[in-house]
């Protein structure tokens, strides 16, 4: 990664892969099962999304990595020429209360209830079959809060699995990222980051945060991790998508993000805007002729009035979720672009303060 400009710890840079270049900071829409909810690949192209995230666990279950490989890999399967990052599925797996051993994780499939055993090596192999541009190692992602011994074991196993994942990885042109764990303990975060860097990866992610903990706990843990990560490698905060969280993470040296928040909010009628979150089901929008966000003009969503979108929501038309999803992703892309510009212009701190005030 080339860091072009900094403003404090905030970075504007370029990530180069075998597929091309990604400008940072960057938000990655989540296409869990090889599709972003309610959208198709053409929509993602019109949104100018440089990179999309897909989920290893769900794709290995349905349709199966062998089929995706047979179909020419995930890019061809989706007809997507942009970048793809595949999560290892660690977060999803740990929501299923798996049995954890040094070998791997055993859990019940959400699709048919059958027993599934996933090892670090199998996760690597599946992601090589999928053909993602960036693949994540399998990590141990405990809930917060957790007892200190639970976090201690997660850090130790994640590091063991990182070594095994590195040894198993062989696909040319595919970058591999390590993951830092450690809960809200700055000490464990620093230890995990240092150990993961010693293994040596193409980039580094911070996992297991933004899962319900208070921001006052999250930021010190994040700062402790990023302080130990190399400046010339991408830094990825997993599962973060609210504007305040994004600006605070960028202030602590993060480059990449993903989250289901913008698409999940959209399906429930909530739009992101300069005014904060807007619940478009609200009666006050019944005859509102303004676009979703009057201060954000985007051809994919601003042609529709708040009144029209509210009507669609209240009649359960699926089009409503699609329109708001397009809006939310376009709005976040513009928000991220503005963060990048503010770093380049040396005005990031004032941008950050405005965001904190607007979204308070």
How many Cβ atoms are within 10 Å of 228's Cβ, its own excluded? 17
Long-range contacts of 187-192 (CB under 8 A, 24+ apart): 187/224, 188/151, 188/152, 188/155, 189/221, 189/222, 189/224, 189/225, 190/224, 190/225, 190/227, 190/228, 191/155, 192/155, 192/158, 192/159, 192/225
Which of 135, 140, 176, 143 is CA-nearest to residue 160? Answer: 140
Task: State whether residue 194 is helix, strand or coil.
Answer: helix
Determine the Cα–Cα distance for residues 116 and 7; give it in Å rounded to an integer: 46
Residue 200 tokens, joined: 């040596």
Q: Which residue has the tokens 């900071």?
A: 25
Residue 95 sits at φ, ψ, to 5 deg, of: -75, -15
**Separation in Å, CA 173 to CA 16, 48, 136, 184, 199:** 11, 23, 14, 34, 19
Query: Quick check: is 87 catalytic?
Result: yes
Q: Residues 7, 87, 133, 255: which is the catalytic one?
A: 87
The torsion region of residue 34 among left (phi > 0), alpha (psi -120 to 50) and beta comes to left
How many Cβ atoms are within 10 Å of 147's Cβ, its own excluded? 10
Query: Quick check: is 149 catalytic?
Result: no
The answer to whether 126 and 60 are in contact (CB under 8 A) is yes
Determine the Cα–Cα distance for residues 93 and 109; give it in Å rounded to an integer: 9
Residue 356 tokens, joined: 């904190």
Tell me how many helices (H) and strands (E) the chain has: 14, 16
**Which residues neighbour 312 within 8 Å (Cβ) at sequence distance 6 or greater?**
319, 320, 323
Entry field: residues in the chain: 360
Q: Residues 242, 255, 258, 293: which is the catalytic one?
A: 258
Sign of the torsion formed by the C-alpha atoms of 164, 170, 171 and 172: positive
Instruction: Just list the catalytic residues.
Output: 87, 258
């Amino acid at each position: 990664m080339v860091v072009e400009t900094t403003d404090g710890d905030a970075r504007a840079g370029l990530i180069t892969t075998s597929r091309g270049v990604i400008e940072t900071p960057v938000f990655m829409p989540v296409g869990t099962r090889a599709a972003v909810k309610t959208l198709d690949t053409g929509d993602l192209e019109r949104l100018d999304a440089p990179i999309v995230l897909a989920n290893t666990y769900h794709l290995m279950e349905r349709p199966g990595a062998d089929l995706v490989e047979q179909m020419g890999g995930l890019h061809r399967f989706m007809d997507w020429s942009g970048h793809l990052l595949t999560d290892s599925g660690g977060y999803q797996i740990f929501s299923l209360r798996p049995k954890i051993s040094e070998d791997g994780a055993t859990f019940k499939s959400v699709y048919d209830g059958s027993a599934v055993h996933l090892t670090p090596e199998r996760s690597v192999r599946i992601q090589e079959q999928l053909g993602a541009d960036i693949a994540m190692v399998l990590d141990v992602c405990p809930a917060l809060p957790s007892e200190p011994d639970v976090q201690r074991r997660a850090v130790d196993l994640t590091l063991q699995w990182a070594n095994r994942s590195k040894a198993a990885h062989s696909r040319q042109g595919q970058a591999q990222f390590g993951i830092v764990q450690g809960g809200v303990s700055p000490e464990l975060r620093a230890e995990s980051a240092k150990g993961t860097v010693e293994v040596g990866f193409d980039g580094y992610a911070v996992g297991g945060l933004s899962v319900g903990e208070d921001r006052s706990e999250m930021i010190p843990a994040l700062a402790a991790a990023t302080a130990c990560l190399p400046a010339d490698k991408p830094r990825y905060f997993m599962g973060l998508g609210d504007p305040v969280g994004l600006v605070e993470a960028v202030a602590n040296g993060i480059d990449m993000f993903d989250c289901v928040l913008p698409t999940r909010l959209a399906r429930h009628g909530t739009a992101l805007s300069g005014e904060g979150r807007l619940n478009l089901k609200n009666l006050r929008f019944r005859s509102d002729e303004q676009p979703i966000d009057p201060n954000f003009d985007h051809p994919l969503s601003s042609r529709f009035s708040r009144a029209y979108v509210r009507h669609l929501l209240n009649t359960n038309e699926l089009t409503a979720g699609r329109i708001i999803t397009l809006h939310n992703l376009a709005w976040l892309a513009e928000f991220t672009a503005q963060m990048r510009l503010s770093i380049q212009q040396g005005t990031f701190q004032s941008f950050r303060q405005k965001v904190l005030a607007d979204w308070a």
